[in-house]
């Protein structure tokens, strides 16, 4: 008999993450490619977080994703950053390279691919309003500026956080009109992005009052569970084209998979696993 070798471990660190569909997506991919690997959830509070990152390294975890609220906080614990992650200042994918933890950002890529494909929206020359100024908003803002968006406004209850993020993007993309504020959008926007975690709980209020949204706007809510979110539902009622973050999740996930395994991600299988998981997830 052949000795069973232990599977290679991958996973997700964040809090809360019980709702995550990443295990369904990655484990389906491992199975399809007959890889002896397993994707797990590492739900860690802020107090547990520093020790947990060290532990993942010691355990020899091959790679992991990082989600709310640690996409920026993880950086001091890493041994290196790829150029994109360094520029954005947020990490959602970590590769364990022979004991060195290297941070990447595949959120930017995943978001733009989904924006074009799923929402049929080309950012060039457009005005965009983003709710939130955390790690996901960072990746999305940098990605939109790189795609030559005309203007980006970040709205966060912490105005200084939104302003800091605007400054960071302007430093790299001086042609993009970027600003931060604590109030609602101007009537001239083409795209509204919810990059906050408002909408993850059924009890959450709407991140924005859909009544004030101009006609002809498109809405991208990066939350994918519950599906559809309240924001997507309300926008739909007003005849506004709105989608959730499932496409972004898939895009960042396939990119992370390729960074970790150096193999082509089985996109169709991963998309199928996500759709199946989401349909089985309705409360």
Contacts of 38 (CB under 8 A, 6+ apart): 7, 8, 9, 10, 27, 30
Helix (H, G, I), strand (E, B) or coil at 231: helix
Rounded Cα–Cα distance for residues 187 and 250 (Å)? 31
Q: Which of 8, 71, 218, 230 is catalytic?
A: 71
69, 73, 78, 83: CA torsion to nearest 10: 90
Token pair belonging to 42: 């590492």
For the question of residue 71 being annotated catalytic, the response is yes
Integer CA distances (angstroms), 187 to 43, 174, 214, 217, in order: 40, 24, 6, 10
DSSP secondary structure of 113-169: HHHHHHS----TT-EEEEE--SHHHHHHHHHHHHTT-SEEEEE-SSHHHHHHHHHHH
Catalytic residues: 71
């Amino acid at each position: 008999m052949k000795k069973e070798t232990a599977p290679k471990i991958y996973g997700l660190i964040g809090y809360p993450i019980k709702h995550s569909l990443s295990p369904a997506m990655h484990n389906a991919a491992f199975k399809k490619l007959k890889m002896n690997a397993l994707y797990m959830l590492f739900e860690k509070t802020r107090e547990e977080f520093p020790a947990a990152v060290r532990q993942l390294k010691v355990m020899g975890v091959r790679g992991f994703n990082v989600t709310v609220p640690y996409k920026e906080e993880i950086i001091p614990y890493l041994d290196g950053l790829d150029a994109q992650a360094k520029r954005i200042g947020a990490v959602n994918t970590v590769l364990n390279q022979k004991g060195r933890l290297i941070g990447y950002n595949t959120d930017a890529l995943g978001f733009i691919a989904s924006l074009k494909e799923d929402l049929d929206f080309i950012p060039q020359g457009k005005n965009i309003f983003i709710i939130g100024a955390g790690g996901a908003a960072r990746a999305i803002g940098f990605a939109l500026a790189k795609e030559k968006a005309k203007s980006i406004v970040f709205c966060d209850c912490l105005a200084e956080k939104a302003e800091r993020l605007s400054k960071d993007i302007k430093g790299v993309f001086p042609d993009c009109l970027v600003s931060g504020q604590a109030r609602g959008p101007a009537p001239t926007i083409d795209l509204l992005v919810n990059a906050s975690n408002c909408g993850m709980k059924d009890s959450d209020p709407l991140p924005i009052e859909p009544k004030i949204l101009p006609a002809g706007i498109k809405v991208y809510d990066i939350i994918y569970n519950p599906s559809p979110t309240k924001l997507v539902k309300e926008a739909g009622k007003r005849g506004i084209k709105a989608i959730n973050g499932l496409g972004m999740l898939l895009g960042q996930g396939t990119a992370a998979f390729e960074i970790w395994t150096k193999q082509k991600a089985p996109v169709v299988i991963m998309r199928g696993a996500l759709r199946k998981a989401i349909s089985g997830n309705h409360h």
